[in-house]
Amino acid sequence: MTVEPYDAVDVIRAKRDGGVVPEPALRWMVDAYTRGYVSDAQMASFAMAVFQRGMERDEIRVLTDAMIASGERMSFAALGKRTVDKHSTGGVGDKITLPLAPLVASFGVAVPQLSGRGLGHTGGTLDKLEAIPGWRAALSNEEMFAQMQGDVGAVICAAGSGLAPADKKLYALRDVTGTVEAIPLIASSIMSKKIAEGTDALVLDVKFGSGAFMQDIDRARELARTMVALGTDSGVATTALLTDMNVPLGLAIGNANEVRESVEILAGGGPADVRALTVALAKEMLALAGQPDADVEAALDDGRAMDSWKAMIRAQDGDPDAPLPVARETHVVTAPADGVMTRMDALPFGIAAWRLGAGRARAEDPVVHEAGIDLHAKPGDRVTKGQPLFTLSAADEARFPRAIDALEDAWELGDTAPEAGPIVRERITA
């Protein structure tokens, strides 16, 4: 029988009491948890100690490295092209990956966008794309390579189970133990997967506000700086943008309707905030790929990005021209008076869309692709009494009352338009 070199209780106590966990003990803790020797109860206790006490930069680096070492490491070196990925910390109506990946690929850069499914109120990129008839999220490593190597260039697919399995286990545990919102744990979780994936460069969209993990910009900045340092130290050129997630992004929250909005962006139109963020992230990605002067807006306006999208969807057996699913039941919320929309909080809109069936409460649940919310007014818009404000869509009208409840205090009409700040607030580099 192998003798374990450390005791989980000692590691937990060290962190609980505010100490620094020595590198070998921290590496062991992650490895022993992945092997099942350290129990869920012990790891949950350790995660709570990290939540309360934090970690030093070097501890976060070791934790990240240990999670990378728990699984496979991919490499795209054989592609002969620069690879650039994007990661968003998640928000309401955040469909940016859909137009962004093909847009960047239209400049000859490979985009390996390994994505996930949604849990709770933030939607998952794969759930959105699965609204497209025939589209397939599961690709083998060989298929992924072939798609990036060839003319398509961009791939959005499910991350294989071999990447950072320690994180998979730990993230599921954090989800049910109130330990998600700890900066060292979020940073190591996200960056372990991105570094293991083998991308050359990475742009992080770190969100702050009511619909984000981080409510205030100072915590978002700290998270961004931590992740940029982790990426840079591992040889991945990393930049982060701090972006506003107080208000839902765009006019569509759901799955099929977010695909529709993404296609509008790829056709050169769409809501101004979605276009602005897509363009800002694309410029950052292309700058890291050695094309700082790329005319990103022209590629949206002249059809190049749309051609790239259609090729990407077809390569994964989807039909980009097929009609998207439409909900059987709708409920329209109208303006109770004349006025200006002064406030819309992202989080309750995310929760309402989730309750309509656009998201899942348990990892094994399906999502309803046609469920969601279409917004007809955003902060600053003037409305008249009786005008439609939001259309709620669901497969079953029994879903409406709880969604309407969620929206009860989520928005306000007043007299004066609020000050609108830019969507991108700060840029963080190494």
> What residues make contact with ligand URA under the rule CB under 6 A?
171, 180, 185-186, 189-190
Which residue, 119 or 356, has its beta carbon nearer to ligand URA? 119
CA-CA distance, 348 to 276, in Å (whole number)? 24
Least Å distance, CB 207 to ligand URA, is 11
Least Å distance, CB 189 to ligand URA, is 3
Which residue, 185 or 245, has its beta carbon nearer to ligand URA? 185
Least Å distance, CB 51 to ligand URA, is 12
Q: From the candidates 117, 168, 169, 174, which is the catalytic residue?
A: 174
CA-CA distance, 423 to 326, in Å (whole number)? 30
Question: What single letter denotes the amino acid at residue 15?
Answer: K
Q: From the candidates 167, 205, 273, 374, which is the catalytic residue?
A: 167
Least Å distance, CB 405 to ligand URA, is 27
- Beta strand pairing call for 252-254 and 372-375: antiparallel
Least Å distance, CB 176 to ligand URA, is 13
Name, in order, each residue with C-beta under 8 angstroms of 224's C-beta and a sequence gap of 6 or more. Answer: 204, 206, 240, 242, 426, 428
Separation in Å, CA 383 to CA 274, 338, 342, 376, 414: 22, 6, 11, 10, 10
Which residue, 190 or 407, has its beta carbon nearer to ligand URA? 190
Q: Which long-range contacts (CB under 8 A, 24 or more apart) does 358-366 make?
A: 358/123, 358/253, 358/254, 358/255, 359/118, 359/119, 359/120, 359/121, 359/122, 359/123, 359/127, 360/117, 360/118, 360/119, 361/120, 363/117, 363/119, 363/172
- Beta strand pairing call for 382-383 and 252-254: unpaired
Which residue, 90 or 270, has its beta carbon nearer to ligand URA? 90
Q: How many CB atoms lie within 10 A of CB 42?
A: 18
Which residue, 207 or 331, has its beta carbon nearer to ligand URA? 207
Separation in Å, CA 314 to CA 154, 260, 319: 12, 16, 6
DSSP state of 7: -
**Is position 106 annotated as part of the catalytic site?**
no
Q: What are phi and psi of 391, to 5 degrees?
A: -110, 120
Name, in order, each residue with C-beta under 8 angstroms of 361's C-beta and a sequence gap of 6 or more. Answer: 120, 354
**Is position 87 annotated as part of the catalytic site?**
yes
Q: From the candidates 87, 310, 355, 378, which is the catalytic residue?
A: 87
Which residue, 228 or 335, has its beta carbon nearer to ligand URA? 228
**Is position 174 annotated as part of the catalytic site?**
yes
- Residue number closest to ligand URA, CB atom: 189
CA-CA distance, 218 to 426, in Å (whole number)? 11
Least Å distance, CB 158 to ligand URA, is 14
Q: What are phi and psi of 239, to 5 degrees?
A: -130, 150
CA-CA distance, 89 to 389, in Å (whole number)? 28
**Is position 189 annotated as part of the catalytic site?**
yes
CA-CA distance, 84 to 124, in Å (whole number)? 20
Which residue, 115 or 239, has its beta carbon nearer to ligand URA? 115
Q: From the candidates 61, 95, 193, 369, which is the catalytic residue?
A: 193
Least Å distance, CB 181 to ligand URA, is 9
Q: Which residues are tagged catalytic?
A: 87, 167, 174, 189, 193
